[in-house]
Structure 1
Amino acid sequence: MTRVVLVHGIAQQYKGAQTLLADWCPALADGLSPAGVTLGPRDVAMAFYGDLFRPAGHRGPGEPELGAADVEEGLERELLLAWWRAAAETESQVAGPGTAARVRTPHLVQRALDALSHSSFFAGAGERLLIRDARQVSRYFTDPAIRAAVRERVLRALTDRTEVVVAHSLGSVVAYEALCAHPELPDLTLVTLGSPLAVRGLVLDRLEPAPVAGYGRWPAPVARWTNIADRGDVVALGKRLAPVFGDRVVDVLVHNGAKAHDVRPYLTAQETGRAIAAGLAARP
């Protein structure tokens, strides 16, 4: 019966599908209300995969502390540096990479973590959380078993009646890859929120299927695609997807206030509601 499938982003490993639905659905209803659309509980499902990143139980004192020395070379490191550069560009209180390092913290990653601690965007996220978030993205792209299992969760949530997929943050990458891999799926509408899909080097060039000459493939089941981003969203480093995935993508900018990447202000935005409502009205 599911008409709308929601796909979450990183850092949800200690939640579950019902917990997230309880958080997302009121915001989704608020966004749809101006469009005159109401969805029932059976109309919406969460494609939950956070538990795949949850550490297994053990006898130790808990998850280990993480610091700059634990940041792995490659994607994990580059993501933190990219977030740093983006935060410095949008927030005056965040010292950029061009600022001279203090003697105490000459290491580039430590400088990035220190700078991000002053960002309102990452408010409340300590070093361990920032590193863990970057590590989840890295694991998705570098661990084939994790990648396959995460995408399978999206496919499991889809039904013949699914008309709209709403995907946030890393979830937009998961949804994109899952839909590309299954061209036989019925036509649907894709709505991406705070998506990093267009970030060259870090995300775009790691997609499956790989982009050709810098352009991403259009997912065959997607009849309509609206991408919504906040100007201050540090995760959505590439705010527009149309230059990468084609002019059929409708790119929309919104203002989410202080919580630029939070899914709830994305969902309450009337622009998001209109995009979802249009998708629901499109299928006979």
Structure 2
Amino acid sequence: MSRIVVVHGVGHQLGTAETLQADIEPALRGGVALARRRDSDLADLADLADVDDGDVVCAGYGDLYRQSGTRGEPYYRAEDVEPGFETELLMQWWQEAARLDPAVTPPGAEGRGALGHLATRPLGIDSVRRALDALTRSRFFAAVSDRLLISDLKQVRRYFTEPELRQAARDRVAECITPRTRVLVAHSLGSVVAYETLCTLRPVQAVQPLTLVTLGSPLGLGGLVFDRLQPAPEHGRGCWPAPVKTWHNLADTGDVVALVRELAGRFGPDVQDGTVDNGAQMHSMTAYLTAAETGAAIAAGLTA
């Protein structure tokens, strides 16, 4: 029974909770240690000297996306990006990348009008190809191939459109939460999985109030994510997860996945929004976990 539960994002379909934990736990321990060295307010808290063995568990759900009988991920091409959710999310990533980096050719260049104009009619394969080319050449997705970027789009879309997969992912998180759990750390799409799990968690599963730490979260993205949450937002405000006492939300200012970086406007003023600097790895889960800001949020949750 672990005090810290970590929920990963997309792109881990070939991993397991055990293999992911081998990378996640050292990064998390490092972030907490860095926070202690930087924050004098935590210096006298001896119980934060280390994250103890057995304190961290990864709630792995990536294997739910793994396709049996294949060797790795299919060789997706631009033609495989489906109209609707996948294309819209791709275009929003492209628009945000162009806003943050002048070197990225924006949507609507070459006389095609702004993204808002493109969105009023079906987007053709040429627009999809240009979006993929712009993103995979950008500093945000420079190490990501078209094939993997399309796979990520499909994983996000499938979570919201396949009820059985969605519930299975939430079940993986729920089974890791015990009365001993104090902190839930969730990255990227994992923040959606964690949020929805906490909103439906039975009280007996979380006796103590929890601290939620979301990293690079897309939870605030209207239409594609926020408006599809379960339970549904009411009057523009998302439900506050009942087991959560404190919510820290951290985003790198260059993270194009966290399109809405401040969640207080969506979920209430009790969300403590903050920024981190992940360098060239804007959306990396490891970079987020090693940040002192993340370590401080986790440490505070362990001593609450």
Residue 183 of structure 1 and its aligned partner are, at CA, apart by 5.0
Residue 40 of structure 1 and its aligned partner are, at CA, apart by 2.1
Q: d(CA) in 1 for partners of 2:125 and 2:193?
A: 36
Partner AA of 2:13 in structure 1: Q
Pair 1:135 & 2:154 matched? yes
Change (3 A) 1:116 1:208: same
Match of 2:229? 207
Conserved? CA contact 1:67–1:128, under 8 Å: yes
Match of 2:5? 5
TM-score by length of 1: 0.94
Residue 144 of structure 1 and its aligned partner are, at CA, apart by 0.3
Change (3 A) 1:167 1:62: closer
Partner AA of 1:15 in structure 2: G
Conserved? CA contact 1:163–1:189, under 8 Å: yes
The alignment-based identity, stated in percent, is: 55
The one of 49, 52, 60 equivalent to 1:37 is 49
CA deviations 1:91-150 (Å, max 9, x no partner) are 222100121179xx9721111111112111101212111111000000000000000000
Match of 1:90? 100
Q: Write out aligned runs for 1:120-269 (5 A).
A: 120-184=139-203, 185-186=206-207, 187-269=209-291
Q: d(CA) in 2 for partners of 1:163 and 1:142?
A: 31
Pair 1:75 & 2:75 matched? no
Residue 41 of structure 1 and its aligned partner are, at CA, apart by 2.6
Residue 57 of structure 1 and its aligned partner are, at CA, apart by 1.4
Q: d(CA) in 2 for partners of 1:197 and 1:9?
A: 12
Conserved? CA contact 2:214–2:250, under 8 Å: yes
Conserved? CA contact 1:183–1:219, under 8 Å: no
Q: d(CA) in 1 for partners of 2:126 and 2:30?
A: 45
Name the SS for the 2:185 alignment partner.
strand
Pair 1:51 & 2:63 matched? yes
Q: d(CA) in 2 for partners of 1:280 and 1:247?
A: 22
Q: d(CA) in 1 for partners of 2:292 and 2:164?
A: 38
Change (3 A) 1:101 1:11: farther
Moved over 4 A (4+): none
CA RMSD of aligned residues (A): 1.6
Conserved? CA contact 1:183–1:220, under 8 Å: no
Structure 2 gaps of 5+ residues are 37-47, 113-123
Q: d(CA) in 2 for partners of 1:174 and 1:111?
A: 31
Residue 229 of structure 1 and its aligned partner are, at CA, apart by 0.4
Match of 2:25? 25
Change (3 A) 1:48 1:156: same
TM-score by length of 2: 0.88
Q: d(CA) in 1 for partners of 2:4 and 2:73?
A: 35
Partner AA of 1:193 in structure 2: L
Change (3 A) 1:56 1:223: same
Structure 1 gaps of 5+ residues are none
Residue 211 of structure 1 and its aligned partner are, at CA, apart by 0.6
Partner AA of 2:266 in structure 1: V
Q: d(CA) in 2 for partners of 1:178 and 1:62?
A: 28
